[in-house]
Structure 1
């Protein structure tokens, strides 16, 4: 029997949560200039995808994100919910690849937003309030790095290199925990840094606000997309340039805005695509929308 809430059945609640996630995906893909990233006006550092590829991909993620939110709307523990949504995520990936003809547009996004949708569902079901979202995410993913990376170090070293995932390969090479480490720690870049920047810059246009938040994230993100295609030195360069741009004021000043445009041109030429930072921007927007949603329910 479906549990009823102020917005109706669990299916209706799940759709409401997932719609905010899709909104966040579309916001991230639409803002510009987003250095090296696909946007409404640029293919960024990519030759195999464009804005419409991202729209196609976003449409493919609607169903799995609804299912993830529904998984959270249950009596299951956070750990049990996480195991449930792993299989949903695998099906979601297949839907995405079918829609994009094999192009990886949102694999990282689906992983992060699937977890966040499920956690939001659990928050709503339990009545714990928005402030519990981060701790539920941490409860869901506790021990993820140890189980999938560090405890398997010897196994990964002996594995056929062609069979390793990008995340596994980068952990072996650089000991970078990537998306797994970030989510296990409760998304500190999102909750401790980016969310505040996004909320504090509400006086900017929505586009400028998104870019300001993106460049802020780029300062701190151990972006595995950059590491996979380039090097640790390139990643450090990206972080340092982002730091200098924020020091200039970013989208709040002419000098900062010009520096962002120049960085976009440079990254497109050098094929540097900070996709990990883009994923965290999408999560930041989603969390901000969730906070408004939960506050609205309680007002």
Structure 2
């Protein structure tokens, strides 16, 4: 066959959604300057993470996201068979992630959030978050029972952890992240600033269990108040907002408080935004 006649094979829906999930994770990691998080400037409040590791971790999760979508298409409905299937795939994806990162937890929370969303997008493209919530409410009897750090902190402080956030239909994404992303874009703030503002909007009210685990309630209050101060000053596109953002970054690093939960929800925000903008579905969420 002549080389000029070669055409790229169209991507399947599973491949397209897996691509978007990985893109969302990489876009979140690259976004700079994020307060106390890994980005293009450095490691934030982390000693075991860096940007290259975040990229490698995201790429290692592509097969798991693809397999989740395929499971949704094969099973065809929300129910225990699908919940148990994506639970198994997610645990296998986590092992692939840990093998890539030499045991460092880079994206455990993101596997849960983005895995639910790509699965739901294959089933209910008009109501992705609602479908994801229905899946999250089902109990996977095969899931291991030991409490994660996030679950322990959620119990101690009465905070809503990643599981509850999904079960409620991702309110931090739909009520704060996406509206702020759209608002900042409409105001001409530029894409990177709009994404930073979306992260900050999520941080203003989220009881981030990563922050609570690392810095307790003082760290959480510093995160929430500081994020609101940036937005009140005009957001990350303004000079005053950038000054507040730098202050928040330094304060959270000093407290060893890295808002990893908010970062996962920003990735979920970017995923839902990209699913609609790329034309896979219209009027999603």
TM-score by length of 1: 0.84
- Report the Cα offset of residue 194 of structure 1: 1.0
Q: Which residue of 2 aligns with 1:37?
A: 37
Give 1:190's aligned residue.
173
Matched, 1:276 2:276: no
Match of 2:107 in 1: 106
Q: Secondary structure at the match of 1:99?
A: helix
- 1:111-134 deviation per Cα after TM superposition (whole angstroms, max 9, x unaligned): 1001111001113xxxxxx43212
Is residue 83 of structure 1 aligned with residue 78 of structure 2? Answer: no
User: Are 1:220 and 2:205 matched, yes or no?
Assistant: yes
Q: Deviations over 1:53-103 (max 9, x none)?
A: 101111111110111111221344212322210000100111011100111
Report if the CA contact (8 A) 2:235-2:242 is conserved: yes
Quickly say closer, same or farther: Cα 1:297–1:287, change in 2 above 3 A.
closer
Contact 2:219 2:255 in 1 (8 A): no
How has the CA–CA distance of structure 1 residues 34 and 297 changed in structure 2, closer, same or farther, with 3 Å as cutoff?
closer
3-state DSSP of counterpart to 1:231: helix
- Measured in 1, the distance between the counterparts of 2:272 and 2:39 equals 21
Between the aligned partners of 1:111 and 1:240, the Cα distance in structure 2 is: 27
Between the aligned partners of 2:58 and 2:147, the Cα distance in structure 1 is 26
1:244-271, Cα deviation, whole Å (9 max, x unpaired): 2211111132111111022112322332
Q: Aligned to 1:141, which of 132, 136, 161?
A: 136
Please, which runs of 5 or more residues in structure 1 have no aligned partner? 1-7, 124-129, 149-155, 157-162
Whole-Å separation in 2 of the counterparts to 1:36 and 1:54: 15
Gaps of 5+ in 2: 1-8
Deviations 1:192-250 (A, max 9, x none): 22111112222222221111111111001110101111212321221112112211111
Q: Does 1:201 align with 2:184?
A: yes
Q: Distance in 1 between matches of 2:75 and 2:252?
A: 46
Contact kept in structure 2, 1:72 and 1:120, CA below 8 Å? no
Task: Give distance in 1, aligned partners of 2:148 and 2:136.
Answer: 19
Task: Report the Cα offset of residue 143 of structure 1.
Answer: 5.5
Contact kept in structure 1, 2:223 and 2:248, CA below 8 Å:
no
* Aligned length, in residue pairs: 270
Contact 1:250–1:256 (CA<8 Å) still a contact in 2? yes
In the alignment, does 2:56 pair up with 1:73? no
The aligned runs of 1:1-299 (5 Å cut-off) are 12-79=12-79, 80-123=81-124, 130-142=125-137, 164-202=147-185, 203-294=188-279
Distance 1:120 1:29 in 2: 23
